[in-house]
């Protein structure tokens, strides 16, 4: 059953598709591993008489859950942690197996709008970018990493072709004065590589790369996917919405490896000749779903979203696969 969602509320990306993939049921227990503005959790609670465990590494994000605590006091629990820790969270609250998990890997609109957080190159603020308060800031990386380290970070995690020029410009600029603000960095990037017509902002990929490294996002995603596999009950669903190719690649690789769709390493050896572990996940559909044209028109932020979903099988976990 899908809820009738109030259009005046914050609407998360691909909400109908997420709810359909979760196959919500009364009496179930669900993890919203990236609570953010609370859109998925609210929709889940409206759609079924269930329990929802809301997790977010950003303590500010959990402030959005206070109204839900009042509205659903017996059905919701807020946890300030990273979704990579879902297995230990489940055990700590006495929920060893879960009916469904959803992960939205994007930065929330609230985080982007808050200049003090330093996520956006459209607003001037400190170069922070931390989801929590436990890691180095983006300013630390920008001002302390070597030119080669910066080039690798921007190229690998931002998939930026002009990484070398940007890294060089940063190192030249910081010789005189540390780079400390978002607009300072964004303007430096634009002055070093320009702004191509009909393209994303030239600072986009560098800011993405810094955010990923500051929060160790790729490693946390890998751990989170494994954690989800371990706590989902047979028939439980895992639904992941990613917003850039690095994230989607990790999710695709994990889903394929766990569903038996991973290609062989040697193209000369047929798949039938290789003994593979029994699948622990079953893909709900082939490939990734994209948002509708109507959603993209209403919410341009959804344009790059990709949704993948899988269902846990009865196959026991094998330690060597972890």
Average pLDDT over residues 296-303: 92
Average pLDDT over residues 147-151: 98
Give CA torsion, residues 115, 124, 187, 104, to 10 deg: 10
CA distance 60 to 286: 36
Beta carbons of 102 and 22 less than 8 angstroms apart: yes
- The per-residue pLDDT for range 79-88, each reduced to its tens digit, is 999 999 999 9
106-110, 269-273, 285-289, 316-320: least confidently modelled range: 269-273
- The per-residue pLDDT for range 190-230, each reduced to its tens digit, is 999 998 877 789 999 999 999 999 999 999 999 999 999 99
CA distance 264 to 244: 26
Percent of the chain residues topping a pLDDT of 70: 90
**Contacts (Cβ under 8 Å, ≥6 apart) of 38:** 10, 54, 64, 65, 68
Q: Kindly list the domain boundaries of the chain, sorted by start residue.
A: 15-110+217-321, 136-214
Beta carbons of 289 and 306 less than 8 angstroms apart: yes
Asked whether the domain spanning 136-214 has the same topology as the one spanning 15-110+217-321, the reply is no
The CATH fold of domain 15-110+217-321? Rossmann fold (3.40.50)
pLDDT for 64 equals 79
**Which DSSP symbol is given to 263?**
P
**Contacts (Cβ under 8 Å, ≥6 apart) of 104:** 12, 13, 34, 36, 40, 241
Q: Return the bridge partners of 307, or none.
A: 241, 289
Q: Return the bridge partners of 53, or none.
A: 31, 77
CATH number of 136-214: 1.10.150.170
Average pLDDT over residues 37-53: 96
| This prediction's pTM | 0.90
pLDDT for 3 equals 45
CA distance 154 to 123: 21
Q: Give the pairing type, strands 29-32 and 51-56.
A: parallel
Among left, alpha and beta (phi > 0; psi -120 to 50; other), residue 62 is alpha
Q: What is the largest CA-CA distance in the chain?
A: 62
- The per-residue pLDDT for range 241-282, each reduced to its tens digit, is 999 999 999 999 999 999 998 765 556 556 555 667 799 999
């Amino acid at each position: 059953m899908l809820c009738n969602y109030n259009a005046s509320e914050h609407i998360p990306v691909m909400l109908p598709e997420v709810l359909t993939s979760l196959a919500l049921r009364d009496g179930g227990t669900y993890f919203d591993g990236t609570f953010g503005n609370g859109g998925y959790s609210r929709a889940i609670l409206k759609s079924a008489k269930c329990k929802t465990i809301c997790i977010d590494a950003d303590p500010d994000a959990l402030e959005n859950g206070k109204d839900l605590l009042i509205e659903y006091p017996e059905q919701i629990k807020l946890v300030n942690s990273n979704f990579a820790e879902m297995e230990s969270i489940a055990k700590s609250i006495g929920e060893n197996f879960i009916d469904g998990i959803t992960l939205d890997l994007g930065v929330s609109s609230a985080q982007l709008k808050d200049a003090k957080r330093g996520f956006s190159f459209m607003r001037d603020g400190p170069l922070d970018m931390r989801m929590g308060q436990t890691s180095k800031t983006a300013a630390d990386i920008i001002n302390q990493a070597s030119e080669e380290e910066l080039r690798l970070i921007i190229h690998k995690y931002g998939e930026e072709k002009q990484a070398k020029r940007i890294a060089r410009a940063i190192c030249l600029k910081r010789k005189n004065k540390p780079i400390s603000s978002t607009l300072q960095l964004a303007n430096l990037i634009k002055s070093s590589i320009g702004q191509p017509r009909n393209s994303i902002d030239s600072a986009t990929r560098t800011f993405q790369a810094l955010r990923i490294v500051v929060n160790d996002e790729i490693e946390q995603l890998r751990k989170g996917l494994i954690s989800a596999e371990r706590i989902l009950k047979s028939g439980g669903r895992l639904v992941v919405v990613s917003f850039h190719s690095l994230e989607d690649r990790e999710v695709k690789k994990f889903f394929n490896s766990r569903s038996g769709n991973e290609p062989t390493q040697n193209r000369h050896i047929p798949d039938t000749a290789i003994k593979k572990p029994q699948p622990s996940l079953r893909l709900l559909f082939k490939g990734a779903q994209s948002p509708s044209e109507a959603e993209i028109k209403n919410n341009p932020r959804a344009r790059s979203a990709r949704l993948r979903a899988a269902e846990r099988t009865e196959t026991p976990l094998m330690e060597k696969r972890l």
